[in-house]
């Protein structure tokens, strides 16, 4: 009987390791995607192949996606019990948006 | 007088040693709260930069200054150091202290490489272009934003070296696991800020 409970512990340990391996694979994929995005961003600017009107929004979207990968995969924000961190960061992003909007808009006119 | 710390050095560490104690949880939430504030702080520097980037006062403009090669190298260094600190945290959760140290060491070296590139870059602007903090409003905004980020990298490296030296003989336990985890979160955030710097300052500065 006691052997059984030991087995359970071992199983859950290997299960956990398996889970964290899968997690690692996801993180590697997000790293690869971030490298690809960075390459595309630099290539777009270096080759000057796309007009300015399109380049800036595309660059900006790619930066936001990269930041998302960092927060959700590298910093584990997609895991449970991360409601408070998400609140803090999105609160910060909201205040950041207001600050940016204020400073940019005031200098346009 | 001595307190009993045996609970911090258990035979078997829990799955998430960084969040197993109340202090660990407080550090975890505290750092995220700090990062929320940092977001606003960097946003105001970005806002200042965007507002002033065309005020060159006859001095060099962003298109003349920036070289994409060096910035690309710096981006790769910092992005890779973000991945190596992910590896370090992966080994922390598997309770492998030596491998965690190895990957944290690599993270630190990549960070130092990034900082060296940035110092070279600033020295290049100052000596070859005479572009300083006092050249123009653009110069002030540029050095304030990018220099503040570089200062964060420097602080992170000092923090990491302090952690690595202080805990070298302790092994992984519930007392120092949260410390490594908070450093790792901070380091990722520094990389997030750099993503926006290379996009907004360097790439958009090249586009015009």
Q: Mark whether A70 and A103 lie in a shared domain.
A: no
Closest Cα in chain B, distance from residue A107 (Å):
6
Residues of B in contact with A92 (CB under 8 A): 35-40
Q: Mark whether A30 and A73 lie in a shared domain.
A: yes
Q: Report pLDDT digits (tens) over A57-105.
A: 999 999 999 999 999 999 998 888 899 999 999 999 999 999 999 998 8
Q: Mark whether A18 and A62 lie in a shared domain.
A: yes
Q: What is the rounded CA–CA span in Å between residue A79 and residue B114?
A: 30
Q: Mark whether A42 and A18 lie in a shared domain.
A: yes
Q: Mark whether A59 and A46 lie in a shared domain.
A: yes
Angle at which helix B97-129 crosses helix B177-196, to 10 degrees, equals 30
Residues of B in contact with A62 (CB under 8 A): 199
- Consecutive H or E run containing A34: helix A2-47
Q: Mark whether A45 and A88 lie in a shared domain.
A: no
Closest residue in B to A60 (Cα) is B199
Report mean pLDDT in 10-residue bins for chain B, 208 residues: 67 84 94 96 95 89 91 96 95 92 97 97 95 93 97 97 95 92 96 96 89
Which residue in B26, B34, B40 has the most chain A C-beta atoms within 10 A of its own C-beta, making it the best mutation to test that interface?
B40
Contact between B32 and A93 using a beta-carbon 8 Å cutoff: no
- Consecutive H or E run containing B78: helix B68-93
pTM: 0.91
Q: What is the rounded CA–CA span in Å between residue B176 and residue B161?
A: 14
pLDDT at A11: 62
pLDDT at A14: 82
Q: Mark whether A33 and A72 lie in a shared domain.
A: yes
Q: What is the rounded CA–CA span in Å between residue A77 and residue B97?
A: 24
Q: Report pLDDT digits (tens) over A3-54.
A: 455 555 556 778 888 888 888 999 999 999 999 999 999 999 998 888 888 9
pLDDT at B37: 95
Structural domain containing residue A87: 80-109
Q: Mark whether A42 and A87 lie in a shared domain.
A: no
Structure-token pair, residue A79: 């895991």
Closest Cα in chain A, distance from residue B3 (Å):
31
Q: How many CB pairs (< 8 A) connect A and B?
A: 125
Which residue in B203, B205, B206, B208 has the most chain A C-beta atoms within 10 A of its own C-beta, making it the best mutation to test that interface?
B203
Q: What is the rounded CA–CA span in Å between residue A87 and residue A25?
A: 27
Q: Mark whether A52 and A101 lie in a shared domain.
A: no
Provide the number of structural domains found in chain A: 2
pLDDT at B164: 96
Closest Cα in chain A, distance from residue B166 (Å):
24
Q: Mark whether A57 and A98 lie in a shared domain.
A: no
Residue B172 is classified by DSSP as S
Tell me if B48 sits within 8 A of B144, measured CB to CB.
Answer: yes
pLDDT at A1: 45
Q: Mark whether A98 and A109 lie in a shared domain.
A: yes
């Amino acid at each position: 009987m006691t052997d059984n409970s030991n087995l359970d512990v071992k199983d859950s340990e290997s299960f956990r390791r398996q889970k964290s391996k899968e997690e690692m694979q996801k993180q590697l994929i997000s790293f690869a995607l971030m490298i690809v995005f960075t390459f595309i961003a630099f290539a777009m600017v270096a080759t000057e192949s796309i007009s300015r009107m399109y380049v800036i929004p595309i660059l900006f979207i790619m930066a936001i996606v990269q930041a998302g990968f960092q927060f959700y995969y590298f910093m584990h924000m997609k895991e449970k019990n991360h409601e408070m961190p998400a609140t803090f960061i999105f609160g910060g992003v909201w205040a950041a948006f207001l600050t940016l909007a204020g400073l940019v808009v005031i200098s346009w006119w | 007088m001595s307190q009993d710390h045996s609970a911090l050095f258990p035979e078997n560490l829990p799955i998430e040693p960084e969040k197993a104690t109340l202090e660990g949880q407080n550090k975890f939430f505290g750092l995220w709260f700090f990062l929320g504030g940092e977001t606003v702080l960097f946003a105001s520097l970005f806002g200042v930069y965007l507002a002033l980037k065309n005020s060159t006062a006859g001095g060099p403009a962003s298109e003349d200054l920036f070289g994409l090669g060096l910035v690309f190298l710096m981006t790769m260094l910092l992005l890779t150091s973000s991945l190596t600190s992910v590896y370090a945290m992966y080994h922390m959760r598997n309770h492998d202290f030596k491998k965690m140290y190895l990957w944290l060491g690599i993270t630190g070296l990549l960070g130092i490489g990034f900082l060296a590139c940035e110092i070279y870059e600033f020295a290049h602007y100052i000596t070859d272009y005479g572009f300083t903090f006092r050249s123009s409003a653009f110069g002030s905004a540029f050095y304030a934003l990018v220099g503040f980020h570089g200062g964060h990298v420097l602080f992170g490296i000092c923090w990491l070296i302090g952690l690595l030296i202080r805990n070298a003989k302790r092994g992984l336990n519930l007392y120092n696991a949260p410390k490594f985890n908070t450093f790792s979160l901070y380091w990722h955030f520094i990389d997030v800020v750099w993503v926006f710097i290379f996009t907004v300052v360097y790439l958009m500065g090249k586009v015009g």
